[in-house]
Amino acid sequence: MKNIFLIGMPSSGKSTLGKRIADVLHYRFIDTDKIIVREEGRSIPEIFAESGEEYFREVERRVLRNLKPGANMVVSTGGGMPCYHNNMEYIKATGVSVFLDVPVDVLARRIQAHAHEDRPLNNANDPELLTVLQKRYELRLPIYSQANIIISGETTEDELLRRLGKWL
């Protein structure tokens, strides 16, 4: 069975939906950001502050390529992961990609509601958060849109499972 890669902007629901889909399919759930934190021994904001974004993106690339193809995993990727180092090509070559396309205003509300401290590129208290997210979304959309499956707006596990059916 193919691995399932959930891609999209931060707070698009990749981890939440990914855990539920993994449970239903009896797959293993993987969050690449959690792997990075564990392997690096420091938080993502610390990695950005101490080593820079370029280093972080290289760590993402390594973590992605260390995931075993065909290992029955649902993988929640970091928001930028598909956009660097030909990662989207690798994702599509080794599994099924699902883009959770959530409106930017919804993403901003979720980020503010949860005040995520682990998102170095998205400050929940930034008055320009919506503008920053919109620009980042527009830059990433050409990559995200290459996904095998695109889910726009809210979705349920049943809908995602139905759409995944022909790919697994």
Q: How many residues does the chain have?
A: 168
Residues 6+ apart with CB under 8 A from 154: 102
Position 72 scores a pLDDT of 96
d(CA 37, CA 10): 16
Looking at residue 27, what is its pLDDT?
Answer: 96
Torsions phi, psi of 31, nearest 5? -115, 110
Over its length of 168 residues, how does the chain's per-residue pLDDT go in tens digits? 789 999 999 999 999 999 999 999 999 999 999 999 999 999 998 999 999 999 999 999 999 999 999 999 999 999 999 999 999 999 999 999 999 999 999 998 888 777 655 555 555 556 688 898 999 999 999 999 999 999 987 777 888 888 888 887
User: How much is the CA Rg of the chain, to the nearest whole Å?
Assistant: 15
3-160, superfamily in CATH? P-loop containing nucleotide triphosphate hydrolases (3.40.50.300)
Give CA angle at 139 (91, 92), nearest 5°. Answer: 10
Q: Tokens 């065909």 label which residue?
A: 70
Q: What is the pTM of this model?
A: 0.91
CA 129 to chain CA centroid, Å, is: 19
Closest CA to 1 of 66, 95, 87: 95
